[in-house]
Amino acid sequence: MELFKPGRLSVRKLILSIIILCFLALGPISSVYGQNGVQARVETSGPAIVSTDELTVQVNPGPVPHFWYWSTDGSQDEAYHVKLQHLLEYSDSDCDDEFDNNEQVSGGASFSLSSGKWEFSGFTTEDGDSLESGDTADSVKFSYTLVGPIRGKQEGQPDQPGQQPEEPPGESPDQPGQQPDEPPGQQESPNEMKLSSENLVIVLTCHISAADGNKMKIDVYIENWNFESQENRLALRTDFTTDNSSDITEESNNGYQIGKAFFAYEDSATADGQSVTVVANSEQIEQAKGLKVWFNYPSFTETLDHDPTIGIGDLTAEIALIGETGTELLSNSTFGIYATFVVIVVVVVVIFIDRRK
């Protein structure tokens, strides 16, 4: 009963006040976890959907990794499309760190990512728990893993250097909501090359969280690319397009904006455990409303990891967040532990100081 004596009353009030202030201060953070709950919905008769209150992404669970996305409170008629198209190794003859169509493609081939076989993981939480149709979570993760060889057409026979091989028909739907066909069987030709997936590892892991409900981060992981020369560079072509009449605004600072959508990227990647500079260049697609975006990486011995982001909103605001560390919020359970720990520490410190008086 010592705490209720007059001399201790002020300490008791102080402790209660500190507890209340701690929860008031942390309250805005906790409210973030409860809003914009991510909903993963899988349709057996069509494409899979993952959405927040701000962003809806149509995921192709078939053989080709690409994404349609639009504002959740908008319409599919205002959808945007991002597709990872090609990988090629090149000799940077003009030393500008960018792939140009007139530069020599090492090995003589540009490898189409659409030609490979990909395994779709399905939707899970960040902890790996499976999500079924209608389930909600604070964060959703899914991935594509290359499980079959990717093919490339040799340049110059019969095409000119720098031209890209034709895409297999039927592998990318013209509109969101359509289910793409399987790529037709391909027969090897004298001008075709293959990269086996037995050694080459490519994994695309996508993350959507309730805390950042307007965007989806795409982790591009490449392992065991066998460079012909360590002086060469690797280019990843990704197409950013739309079927609506939105204006194209090309930004040179970490991203591109088309209408309401952005395609942003970090200007650094992790290669063999070290930070390296990523250079992006783009050109307008002649027969589509959009851009070819080339991400250019230096050579690496073992692994490369890069994190582009797609989303709805203002590119300038998104760029301001690019590269910041520690921006990912904790899960609800972790937050509760954190808040409890803070309160206990504060109370113990106050009692210790009071008893020393």
**Domain ranges for the chain:** 2-31+334-355, 45-324
Taking the C-alpha atoms of residue 236 and residue 34, their distance in angstroms, rounded to an integer, is 37
pLDDT score of 355: 64
pLDDT of 225 over the 70 cut: yes
Average pLDDT over residues 320-331: 48
pLDDT of 300 over the 60 cut: yes
Residue 33: CB partners within 8 Å, gap ≥ 6? 138, 210, 211, 329, 331, 332, 335
Q: Give me the residue label for tokens 């090492």.
A: 106
Give the 3-state secondary structure of the chain.
Answer: CHHHCHHHHHHHHHHHHHHHHHHHHHHHHHHHHHCCCEEEECCCCCCEEEECCCEEEEECCCCCCEEEEEECCCCHHHCEEEEEEEEEEECCCCCCCCCCCCCCEHHHEEEEHHHCCEEECCCECCCCCECCCCEEECEEEEEEEECCCEEEEECCCCCCCCCCCCCCCCCCCCCCCCCCCCCCCCCCCCCEEEECCCCCEEEEEEEEECCCCCEEEEEEEEECCCCCCCCCEEEEEEEEEECCCCCEEECCCCEEEECCEEEECCCEEEECCEEEECEEEEEECCCCEEEEEEEEEECCCCEEEECCEEEECCHHHHHHHCCCCCCCCCCHHHHHHHHHHHHHHHHHHHHHHHHCC
Least confidently predicted of 75-84, 222-231, 245-254 = 245-254
pLDDT score of 56: 94
| In contact, 262 and 319? CB cutoff 8 Å | no
Radius of gyration (C-alpha) of the chain in whole angstroms:
25
pLDDT score of 252: 64
Taking the C-alpha atoms of residue 100 and residue 233, their distance in angstroms, rounded to an integer, is 12
pLDDT score of 238: 95
Taking the C-alpha atoms of residue 104 and residue 56, their distance in angstroms, rounded to an integer, is 40
Going by pLDDT thresholds of 50, 70 and 90, the confidence category of residue 330 is very low
Q: What is the pLDDT of residues 127-179, one digit of tens each?
A: 999 998 888 899 999 999 999 888 886 544 333 334 443 443 334 454 666 55
pLDDT of 328 over the 60 cut: no
User: 284 or 350: which carries more pLDDT confidence?
Assistant: 284
pLDDT of 214 over the 50 cut: yes
Q: What is the pLDDT of residues 45-99, one digit of tens each?
A: 567 899 999 999 998 877 778 999 999 998 888 899 999 999 999 999 999 999 9
Q: Give me the residue label for tokens 């959405």.
A: 51
Average pLDDT over residues 12-18: 64
pLDDT score of 253: 74
Going by pLDDT thresholds of 50, 70 and 90, the confidence category of residue 251 is confident
Taking the C-alpha atoms of residue 193 and residue 227, their distance in angstroms, rounded to an integer, is 15
Q: Count Cα neighbours of 341 within 13 Å in the Cβ-side half-sphere.
A: 6
Per-chain mean pLDDT for the chain: 76
Going by pLDDT thresholds of 50, 70 and 90, the confidence category of residue 34 is very low
Token pair recorded at residue 13: 């009030």
pLDDT score of 18: 64
Q: How far, CA to CA in Å, does 251 sit from each of 243, 266, 287?
A: 20, 13, 21
User: 246 or 340: which carries more pLDDT confidence?
Assistant: 246
pLDDT of 28 over the 60 cut: no
| In contact, 221 and 303? CB cutoff 8 Å | yes
Residue 197 amino acid letter? S
pLDDT score of 217: 96
pLDDT score of 289: 85
| In contact, 57 and 49? CB cutoff 8 Å | yes
Q: What is the dihedral of CA 69, 72, 78, 84, to 10 degrees?
A: -10
Hey, what CATH class is 45-324 in?
mainly beta
Going by pLDDT thresholds of 50, 70 and 90, the confidence category of residue 224 is very high
